[in-house]
Amino acid sequence: MEAERLNGLDYFSGMRTSEVEVVAGAMREDAWWDGSVVVQQGDQKGSVYFVLEGAVRIERRQENGEIVSVGHLGPGAVFGILGVLDGVARAASCVAEGTVRCAIMERKDFLDLMNGATPLALRFQLAVLRCLARDLRSTNGRLTELAALPACKVSLDDLEEVF
């Protein structure tokens, strides 16, 4: 895919233009229409998605069949990292809201960069760590808000057991 499509993403801000071009060479671009499932909860397939345009709704199907919307992602967001890193089935579905375009990196290419020792690989690894740290901070904030709800019967001990 064209490196120019990635230049505007915060994820690649610490990389040189030549490095973004190398990363772009390992990616492809795809599009989904409103209501299309980009990633299905439970899938074992592993790719990382970088949202270029549009919005994605994150939803989880509960054991009772209820679907719960747990978030939204817009341009610049990245999803699928955890499933690629640990190989565990997707924890949630991602559904296009309107037209969505993503850059996609397959698991092998992602892991090659994560296991590399070149300056490009190290900058890529740092970008992954920043992304995961941002997601963890956001999750911590949401869990704190949930635990603070008066009608919530979830204790901090319950939350610690989950994580």
pTM of structure? 0.86
Write down the pLDDT at residue 149. Answer: 77
27-32 and 47-61 as β-strands: parallel, antiparallel, unpaired? unpaired
Residue 138 DSSP one-character state = H
Superfamily designation of domain 4-162 = Jelly Rolls (2.60.120.10)
Residue corresponding to tokens 């590399």: 116
Break the chain into its structural domains and give their ranges: 4-162
Of 111, 120, 128, nearest in space to 16 by CA = 120
Write down the pLDDT at residue 151. Answer: 67
Per-residue pLDDT of the chain (163 residues; tens, 9 = 90+): 999 999 889 889 889 999 999 999 999 999 999 999 999 999 987 899 999 999 999 999 999 999 999 999 999 999 999 999 999 999 999 999 999 999 999 999 999 999 999 999 999 999 999 999 998 998 888 888 877 877 666 666 665 655 5
Of 93, 47, 50, nearest in space to 70 by CA = 93
Rounded to whole angstroms, how far apart are CA atoms 25 and 20? 9
